[in-house]
Each structure stands twice: as structure tokens, then as C-alpha cells.
Chains A and B, each alone.
Chain A
Amino acid sequence: MNFLQSFKLAIQSIMKSKVRAFLTMLGIIIGVGAVTVIVGMGNGMENYISSSFESMGTNLITVSIQGRGTSRSVDVDDMYALVSENPDVLSYVSPTVSVSGTVKIDSEEPDSTTVTGVGEDYCAIKRYSIAEGRFLQYVDILRRQKVCVVGSYLAATYYDNNAIGKTLKVNGNTFTIVGVLNAEADSEEASTDDAIYIPYTNAAKMSWTGAISSYSFSGATEDSIDKGVTLIEDALYKVYASEDYYTVISMTEMLDSMTAIIDVVVMVLGAIAAISLVVGGIGIMNIMLVSVTERTREIGIRKSLGAKQRDIMQQFVIEAATTSALGGVIGIGVGYLLSSIASSIIVTLMDTEITVTPSTTAVIGAFSVSVAIGIIFGYLPAKKAAKLNPIDALRYD
């Protein structure tokens, strides 16, 4: 008896009792479906994150300096020099100084608004675009002009989209609004659009130490990021003589580490889902054992007609594997269906475009695992069937 004949026999046997076969497969269907959806969600999340990183600019390098007291510090001009000396590696730099304190617009005090002191190239580094007016300019920085640029949320909420020329107060200092940025996020409170940008020179003066503790660089190309990171690190090392006083992180590194975290989460969830595959396998074993008992007489007849142990074994193992594989295929279908349902639910509920995309590797993997489970869990019942004594089996009612 060859493989094809055993396979035909298995299909025949499954088709004879469809409901039972379906119930047998259910565990495998759920397991494969769950793995498919979970891996799909992981993929969707990774795609979403990398696309939002791309919109922020993957060639962004962030430098933050913890410093070493006052004895040594990096001069802003040194950082600018780094860019102008290496135009093929780095294209822009901007100091970034977070200002803590109160913002006052007329009589209101928005408390979620962030105030950041930046340079004139910050807009280009972050790839922001101007909706109205202009961004900060070199002259503003140099002369510590009391001007600022605001995000779309502030312009819309407090100035009725007519912010240019109006004023606001940061820690008691009055700034004139010279520009409004286009909406970057969804123009909501506490988002990227709820922000005020002032010249870093002003910001540094407002802060306690007056020192500038962080910078944003942009790489000339995506490929030059690593080179840029090294360049900045070398420069900082010369000043501080230790790696402990500063951190240089590129956006690609951050993306990589976030993707790694998602991968781990997906792996853990996938492993939990895979447990149901094992449970499904036990279900198959259970039904196959029942089936062997039910078909004892058939086994006896086949043996009396010259079926060897190997033939009987093959018949039952292939039947188990076919059942399980069929469950796997249905499970993949269910997984894809759930994926598209999940995508549309995510879009309506969370208003973000996370598309659940099952990966081909996961699908192929899940299918192979389900076939393997059929073979593994079909082995024991098949062995039992093959070992039956033909005389007893023939007499069995």
C-alpha cells in the first residue's frame, strides 16, 4: 500500500464523519488561527512603528549630555562645527533645551504644553512644515529675540487659527508668535502639536544652569547614521574622557530596540497560543484512539488479507496527519479572516492604521507544526492499531 492510497483512505474516512472530524480539528484550528493573528498583529505593530519613525525621520540622532559638573562642557559651536566639517555625514544640528515652567496665554494656563528651546534648523531636522509665518531664524537665536513658533493645537485652541503676531508668556517672559506649524499628530492636547518652540539661547538663559544638555542631529543620508554616531561620540569622548557622561542614540537604533521588544512580546504570546496546538494534538490522539477501537474489525479484516503492521500504522498516522493538516489549513483561513476583522476594529476603535498582516513564514510554520502534531499524536493510536492481534480483531463486535 503506497502513500497515495493511504491518503485517499484517510480522506474517505474523514469525509464519512464530517462533524466528528471538524470537532477533532477544532483545537488545531484555534491554535493555528491564534498564532496567525498574533504574529500578524506583531507585524502590523512593527510596520506602524517603523512608518511613524520614518515620518519623524529615521536619520535623526539624539545626543543627551549628563555632564560632569561645571568643569567641562561641550560648546554649542563645537557641535555646529561637527556638522559643517562633515557635510557628507551630518546635515543639521540643533540644541534642544526643555523649559520647565508655566505657560500663560492671556489668562489661561495650558499645563500640558511643552516648551523647547531649539535652533533654526530644528524644523528641518524634525521634518516639520510651517503652516503660517516662519520658523525661528539665526538672527532670533543670536539676538535672543523673544519670538516663538507654536504647534497647530495651540493656534487652533487659543488663537482661533489666527496666532501670528499674538503673544504668550513663558515663565513671565513675553514671546511673540512668528509661525505656526502644520499638524504633525492629530492636533490634540499633549500631542506634538501642543508645543511652543523658542530660541535655545533664550531657553538656556531661563534654565538654572544655562548649559545645553541635549542636541538633535540629522544624518546626511540613512547610511551615514552610524558614521555620524561615531563622529559625535568621538567628539564627546574628547571632552569628557568617559562614555558615562553622554548618550548618543540614533532613531534607527531606537527603532531596532523597539522592534526587538515587539518581537519578544509576539514570541511570548505566540508560544501561549501554541499551547492550544498541543491541546489540539491531544484531541486528535483521543479521537484516533476511539477510532482504532471502533475499527478493530476493519483492522482484523485488513490483517487477514495480508496488511502488515507497517500498512496499518501508515493508514492511521496518515489519517491523523491529514486531519491535523486540514485543521491547519482551516486555521490559517480563520487567522486571515480574524486579521482583517481585527484591522478594521483597530482602525475604528483606536483611530490608528495598524494593519494586521500575517507573515508567510508564520503561516507556513503553523501549517508544518500542525502536520507534525498529527504525526506525533497519531503515532500512539496507530501503534495500538498495528499491534492488534488479527484473531481477536476479527472476532471483535
Chain B
Amino acid sequence: MAPLIEFKDVYKIYYMGDNVVRAVDGISLTIEKGEFVAIVGQSGSGKSTCMNIIGCLDVPTQGQYLLGGKDVGRLNDNKLAEIRNKMLGFIFQQYNLLPKLTVLENVEVSMLYAGVPKALRIERAKKALERVSLTDKLGNTPSQLSGGQQQRVSIARALAGNPSVILADEPTGALDSKTGRDVLALLQELHREGNTIVLITHDNSIANTAPRIIRLTDGKVVYDGPSGIKGSLVQTREEEAEA
């Protein structure tokens, strides 16, 4: 069976005047179904661009990106929207909940665009919120919740669409360390339940939550292997220079 995510020599090149920025500079990688992978790197390492490509928010300049065996790098806007809707669940650093909607409505949004009938939509949204232990906050708006609770709503939103991949972009970035640990524990649980999770972070300790780490520097993969090994971790520029 084909891997769930496959990068075949992917480039993302920006031309800014005379400058050529190689945000993703020839990356090849595969992520299997059910894996929990952390993509780690400093700012400017290309990890955000990588996430955008995996999340079908952006397309590679060159090379192939196969999602579920399908080349999604050449699809148009609407097809990409459909793939985001059906196959991807996003968890953002800033939660990105819609402030005017209630918790339940927020979780329903992606199913709304998928055309899921109302009764089923509510049922699945409630189930997802139950999974993140927020059944008592259904009618609240995001501003009435704490940061940790808001992040759990966004996790529920990602889960509700029953996606192939959950993409978490610095999910603990805006949280205190204890709440952050709770959120990471929740992600680990979801992984154990069979979900594929891709975690994007600059933080070594958070990256270590995942069993597999892909480290990027200057748009290239410099480490791809199990966590807990010295080389897996992000180094400061000075350390890199020493090594």
C-alpha cells in the first residue's frame, strides 16, 4: 500500500526581486498511516512551508506531493479545498476558532462545507467534543473559554471531519506549559487510537512527544528517525557550526 504522505523531491522556491528563496529545497519523505511525526526546525527552516504543502494550502514549485497515493500538487483551488475538507484536520497555534459561533457550531463548520446533513453533523460534532471532554461548553462562544479549552475545541473540530491526517502547527505555542502538556497528551492518545498526526514545532521538548522526528534546516531534511537521539534535536546556529 502506498504511504499516506509522500514527498518526491519537493521544492518550493520564492522569487523576491533578485533574491531566490528556497523555502523547501528538495525534500523527499514518506509518512505512513497511523504515524505520529514531529517536523522540527528553527524559524526559516522551511517547516511552515512544508506544513502548508502537506495541508494542501500551498502547492510545490517542483516535485511531487502524493496524499493517499494521489498527486495533489497539480490540483486547482477548489479541488484542494475539497481535499482539505475531506482528508485534513488543522490545529493552529492561535486556535483559529470563529469568534461569533458557538463551540458546537465551530466544530460543525467543516462538515457544513462537506454537505453533511444537520442531524448527523450535530451528532458527530458532539461526539468529537465528548472526545476532548468539552460536552458542557457546547453553547459557549470561544471567548468564554480558556486557551486550553479553545485548543481542545479546535482539536475536536479537526477530529469531527474524520480526516486522514491531523496537522498540528505549534499547538502549544500559545499555552502555558501545564496546559500544553495536557494538549500533547491528548494528541498522543489520539495517535494511540490510530490517527495519523503531523506535529510542526520549533521546540525540542515538544517534538520529543512524537516517536519520529524529521528535522529541517534551510529547507533540507537533516535528520529523519526516532526521537530521543541527539541528532534529532534542533541546534542553535553555534552548535551547528561546532558540529
Residue positions of A touching B, CB distance < 8 A: 1, 5, 12-13, 16, 297-298, 300-311, 390-391, 394
Contact = CB atoms under 8 A, between A and B. Distances in A.
Interface in B103-155: 109-110, 112-115
Contact of A306 (B58, B96, B97, B113): B113
Interface string B66-93: 0000000000011001101110001010
- Most A CB contacts (10 A, CB to CB) among B52, B77, B78 go to B77
B57 A305 contact: no
A306 B98 contact: no
B55 interface: yes
Contacts, number: 60
B100 interface: yes
A302 B77 CA distance: 14
Nearest to B99: A298
Contact of A391 (B57, B96, B112, B157): B57
A386 to B, nearest CB: 9
B236 to A, nearest CB: 26
A220 B56 CA distance: 85
Nearest to B95: A301
A300 B98 CA distance: 11
B78 A309 contact: yes
B112 A5 contact: yes
Given A297-B96, A391-B57, A394-B92, A308 B112 contact: no
A306 B77 contact: no
B100 A305 contact: no
B55 A16 contact: no
**Interface residues of B toward A: which range?**
20 to 34
Given A302-B113, A303-B81, A306-B114, 10 more contacts: A12-B100, A301-B96, A302-B98, A305-B85, A306-B84, A308-B82, A308-B113, A309-B77, A309-B81, A390-B57
Contacts of B100: 12-13, 16
5 contacts: A16-B100, A304-B55, A305-B84, A306-B85, A394-B92
Given A298-B98, A391-B52, A394-B96, A304 B90 contact: yes
A307 B81 contact: yes
Contacts of A307: 81, 113
A391 B84 CA distance: 13
A13 B100 CA distance: 9
B204 to A, nearest CB: 25
Contacts of B109: 302, 305
A390 B110 CA distance: 15
B143 to A, nearest CB: 13
Contact of A305 (B58, B77, B113, B115): B113
A303 to B, nearest CB: 7
Given A1-B113, A390-B57, A391-B52, A308 B98 contact: no
Contacts of B55: 304
A221 B85 CA distance: 76
A300 B55 CA distance: 13
A286 B55 CA distance: 33
A391 B115 CA distance: 24
B92 A308 contact: no
A298 B98 CA distance: 6
Residue among A12, A16, A306 having the largest count of chain B Cβ atoms under 10 Å: A306
B222 to A, nearest CB: 24
Interchain residue pairs A-B with the least CB separation, the first 6: A306-B85, A305-B110, A308-B81, A306-B113, A301-B96, A306-B84
Interface in B32-82: 52, 55, 57-58, 77-78, 81-82
Given A311-B113, A391-B52, A304 B86 contact: no
